[in-house]
């Protein structure tokens, strides 16, 4: 559903059902045929984003034998234009404000962050096992990366800093943190 685009662009409260319907090319009333209400639609959109995130995680899990590349791809995803994944934080931030808490959304957000941390920890453990990384604890590192990426998202939105530039700065930071040489910027990305 294209509702996700609008939600992630403008947040929950700032988007009207009419706008979503217009972008989807249907009548607003039709949305109520498929969804119980705006909250349900929002939950579906967030759920879709989370599923997308899962898909990426799984693909990255297949790269398990190359932890450095896995991390690189994950960062690339952050800056992929139109990527819905880094927008999770925004969605959640905005949604959390509206006062009313939607259980389905709460669960989806928590699951997303959990899964992200799990993936990052797995990556670090693999790297350590192979002697690729030094001096890194999986748990703190995962939390560090995850939180920092949310900060990057905020900065991108609030200050209109170009996302890629912020991500690039972070890449250097992270690589050093892992005891690696800074790698060249990757071109490949996976759209969300």
Q: Rule CB under 8 A: which residues touch a copy of itself? A: 9-11, 13-14, 89-90, 92-94, 96-99, 109-110, 113, 140, 143-144, 146-155, 157-159, 166, 169-170, 172-173
CB 35 within 8 A of CB 44: yes
Measured CA distances, 56 to 83, 90, 135, 136 (Å): 11, 19, 27, 24
Q: Which does 130 bind (CB under 5 to 8 A by kind): a copy of itself, DNA, none?
A: none
Considering beta carbons, is residue 35 or 170 the nearer one to a copy of itself? 170
One of 32, 54, 148, 189 touching DNA (CB under 7 A): 32
CB 85 within 8 A of CB 78: yes
Q: Which does 140 bind (CB under 5 to 8 A by kind): a copy of itself, DNA, none?
A: a copy of itself
Measured CA distances, 19 to 31, 60, 94, 180 (Å): 11, 35, 18, 47
Q: Which does 26 bind (CB under 5 to 8 A by kind): DNA, a copy of itself, none?
A: DNA
Binding interface with DNA (CB under 7 A): 15-19, 26-30, 32-33, 37-39
């Amino acid at each position: 559903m294209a509702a996700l685009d609008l939600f992630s662009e403008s947040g929950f409260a700032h988007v009207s059902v009419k706008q979503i319907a217009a972008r989807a090319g249907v009548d607003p009333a039709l949305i109520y045929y498929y969804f119980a209400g705006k909250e349900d639609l929002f939950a579906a959109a967030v759920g879709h984003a989370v599923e997308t995130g899962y898909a990426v995680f799984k693909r990255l899990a297949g790269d398990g034998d190359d932890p450095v590349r896995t991390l690189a791809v994950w960062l690339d995803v952050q800056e992929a234009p139109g990527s819905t994944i880094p927008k999770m934080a925004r969605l959640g931030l905005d949604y959390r404000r509206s006062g009313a808490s939607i259980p389905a959304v709460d669960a989806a957000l928590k699951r997303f962050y959990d899964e992200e941390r799990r993936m990052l920890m797995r990556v670090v453990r693999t790297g350590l096992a192979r002697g690729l990384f030094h001096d890194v604890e999986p748990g703190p590192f995962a939390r560090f990366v995850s939180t920092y990426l949310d900060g990057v998202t905020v900065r991108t939105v609030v200050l209109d800093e170009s996302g890629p530039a912020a991500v690039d700065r972070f890449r250097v930071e992270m690589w050093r943190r892992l005891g690696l040489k800074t790698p060249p910027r990757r071109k490949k990305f996976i759209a969300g």
